[in-house]
Amino acid sequence: MRPANAISLADLEQPPRDTKKTLFYVLIYGIAFAILAWSWQGAEIRPLALIKDAGNMAEFGADFFPPNFHEWRYYLDEIIVTIHIAIWGTILAVIAAVPLGLLAAANIAPWWVHQPVRRLLDSFRAINEMVFAMLFVVSVGLGPFAGVMALFIHTTGTLAKLFSEAVEAIDPQPVEGIRATGANQLEEIAYGVIPQVMPLWISYTLYRFEANVRSASVVGMVGAGGIGVVLWEVIRGFQFSKTCAVLLMLIVTVSVVDLISARIRKLFI
């Protein structure tokens, strides 16, 4: 039953229609659709090709099965190398991201420090790890080390940014408590800031490690070591049953890494 003092929707007076607002929304939607249409052309999207070439794709798909696990030991070794690349790429990035993340935080460093540091980190992030991998293949030679360096630089960019955002979100009161004891600035950070951001930092690091396992499998394609090298070889050689085997093993690996890091993350939060 309706209580006596309840107000029904009809009782409420409708506000008058605001034509300016309506026009504004029409304009916004118009712009959004224009951008979508423009990019449709640029990206040469042809959904009909999916239907027209369905036979091709079915044939192509059929080549993948059954997967050829004949050389699984070789693939496994390379997957392990891939994980090694991801581990070192992440560890080096964490070591660099701790000081850089603190220097990029507006509540720790003055603007003439945090602004340049942030721009530096932007440039680390703006360039994809594939590009860094190609550059490092040229400078340090083919092999996993080029992959480690590529992941290291790119991950430093993302981790330091995430770290600094965590630092900017801390509660300033405990830091003031430490400051009031006569501690210096480094001690304020070690006692007041780091303990507060630690759970987030660990969480971000594990996320980046998962992402780096995926990235490490791709940087191999430009010759930076690991399973990517194998993947590139079998795709280029049209050996699709082998490609299928490698992809399946990659999927399992990435899932296992995700599961393990999720467990570790739970320990720290």
Closest distance of CB 178 from another protein, Å: 6
* Contact criterion met (CB below 8 Å) for 98 and 117: no
The residue among 116 and 172 lying less far from another protein, judged by its C-beta, is: 172
Closest distance of CB 202 from another protein, Å: 12
3-class secondary structure, 62: helix
The residue among 115 and 184 lying less far from another protein, judged by its C-beta, is: 184
Closest distance of CB 98 from another protein, Å: 12
Closest distance of CB 110 from another protein, Å: 16
Is it true that the peptide bond before 66 is cis, omega within 30 degrees of 0?
yes
Closest distance of CB 181 from another protein, Å: 5
Closest distance of CB 198 from another protein, Å: 7
The residue among 56 and 184 lying less far from another protein, judged by its C-beta, is: 184
* Contact criterion met (CB below 8 Å) for 145 and 225: yes
The residue among 85 and 197 lying less far from another protein, judged by its C-beta, is: 197
In the DSSP assignment, the letter for residue 16 is P
Q: Show the DSSP H helices in 127-193 as ranges.
A: 129-140, 144-168, 172-179, 185-188
The residue among 55 and 182 lying less far from another protein, judged by its C-beta, is: 182
The residue among 192 and 226 lying less far from another protein, judged by its C-beta, is: 192
Q: Which of 219, 178, 183 is nearest to 196 (CA)?
A: 178
- Cα distances from 55 to residues 11, 49, 60, 118, 136, in angstroms, run 62, 11, 9, 50, 41
3-class secondary structure, 65: coil
Q: What is the dihedral of CA 146, 148, 151, 156, to 10 degrees?
A: -120
Site of interaction with another protein (CB under 8 A): 173-174, 176-184, 186-187, 190-192, 195-196, 198-199
